[in-house]
Amino acid sequence: MIEKIILDALERATEITGCMEIPMDPPPYFFLIEKTGGGARNSQQRTATVAVQSYAPTLLEAAQLNDEIVGVMRELQFTEDSIITCELNSDYNFTDQNTKRYRYQAVFNLVYFD
C-alpha cells in the first residue's frame, strides 16, 4: 500500500507523527496522508496522487513542516525501491477554516511498483 510506504518514510525522516486520519486528540505537530486518486500503467506499475497535509501550531511552522515533507518526498524515488517517480504537483496554505488549525497541503504524483 503506497500510503503506508509514504507514512513510514516521512515518519523516519521528520520524526513527526503521521496518520491517515485526524487523531481524536491530535498532537501539536503531525501530518496526514490521503490518496486522492490512482490508476495503473501496466500490470506492474501503478500511479497515485497523494496529498500530505502538515499541521502545526502556527502558520509559519506548518509551512516549514510542509517544506520538510516536500524535500523528503522528492527523494523517495531514490530511497524507496518500489517508487519510480515522485513529483510535486502543488503545495499551498490549506488552513482548516472550521477548526482554525494551521495546515499546508502538498500534492504529489507518484509512479510505483505494486
Tell me the whole-structure pTM to 2 decimals: 0.94
CATH number at residue 66: 3.30.2000.10
Range of the domain at 12: 2-113
Buried b (16+ CB within 10 A) or exposed e, 3-20: eebbbebbeebbebbbbe
How many other C-beta atoms are found inside a 10 Å radius of the C-beta of residue 57? 11
Angle at 64 between CA 10 and CA 50, to 5 degrees: 45
Residue 99's pLDDT band (boundaries 50, 70, 90)? confident
Structural domain count of the chain:
1
Place of cell 487523531: 23
The string of pLDDT tens digits covering residues 20-71 is 999 999 999 999 999 999 999 888 999 999 999 999 999 999 999 999 999 9
Which set of grid coordinates corresponds to residue 53? Answer: 497535509
Segment 73-80 mean pLDDT:
92
3: left (phi over 0), alpha (psi -120 to 50) or beta: alpha
Which set of grid coordinates corresponds to residue 108? Answer: 504529489
